[in-house]
Chain A
Amino acid sequence: MSILNLALMFAFGCFALAQLLCLYRVMRAPGFSDRVLALDTMAINMIALLTLFGIQRGTQVYFEASMLFAMVGFISTVAFAKFILRGDIIE
């Protein structure tokens, strides 16, 4: 097993554990904003997982998916915060 494969496995494990910790924070959180922050972090970790999967498979198909995750994660977080602040998303 080469050093690159070992590093890939390590990174996969780290991001999977991070995803589980964020899921725990989504389920048990003291407030709304904690849940939104955890969901945003899950979207960001998902980008990393998709990129790692692309490295492992040796294909570039997954970059569009990670770009979509980045955009949708950002827009959903901002829409939630705007709703809390103003009661309306598009004024």
Chain B
Amino acid sequence: MSILGEILIAALLVSGGAFGLVGAWGLVRLPDMMTRLHGPTKAATLGVGSVLIASMLHFWLHYGILSWHELLITIFVLITSPITGLFIAKAHMHLSWQQGELPRPPSGVEWCTYGRGAENSPIVSVDGPEKPCE
């Protein structure tokens, strides 16, 4: 393995580890829930992505095996991380904000989070007439 490839892999590993650590540190230190979402969903994904690409380069340069597993995992994590963030943010809104505290959706409809269908939720109480929602 060439020294250049080794340096590249080492740089990817170091940056990945730093990003992962910064993400977890943000999870502990940031002041409220919506800012705490920012740390892990961005930094940990970037950190894991660079570690996986470093692994791919390592197996390619060192053993001559070009494996696509890492790329598969990277793409999967990149696709699912925003969905996870969105769901956690909606659950957080549901748990700790009243309906009146949120900005209004456009054109006179209600947010579905507080609308019909939420009456089975163990935590949220729904009252008022059913309205179309988005």
Q: A14-B21, A33-B91, A52-B51 are in contact. Are A77 and B84 (CB under 8 A)?
A: yes
Interface residues on B, range: 35 or more
Query: Complex Cα distance A6/B69, Å?
Result: 25
Interface residues of A in 20-59 (CB under 8 A from B): 21-22, 24-25, 30-34, 36-38, 40-41, 44-45, 47-48, 51-52, 54-55, 58
Contacts of B54 in A (CB 8 A): 55
A77 touches B87 (CB 8 A): yes
In contact, A80 and B91 (Cβ under 8 angstroms): yes
Whether A11 touches B51, Cβ cut-off 8 Å, given contacts A31-B96, A63-B73, A85-B91, is yes
Q: If A34-B36, A74-B80 touch, does A85 touch B14 (CB 8 Å cutoff)? A: no
A residues in contact with B77, CB < 8 Å: 44, 47, 70
Query: With A4-B9, A8-B13, A17-B21 as given contacts, are A36 and B88 in contact (CB-CB < 8 Å)?
Result: yes
| 8 shortest interchain CB distances as A-B pairs | A87-B120, A14-B17, A18-B24, A11-B17, A81-B87, A7-B10, A63-B69, A21-B24
Residues on B facing A (Cβ under 8 Å): 6-7, 9-11, 13-14, 16-18, 20-21, 23-25, 27-28, 33, 36-37, 40, 44-45, 47-48, 51-52, 54-55, 58-59, 62-63, 65, 67, 69-70, 72-73, 76-77, 80-81, 83-84, 87-88, 90-92, 94-96, 113, 117-123
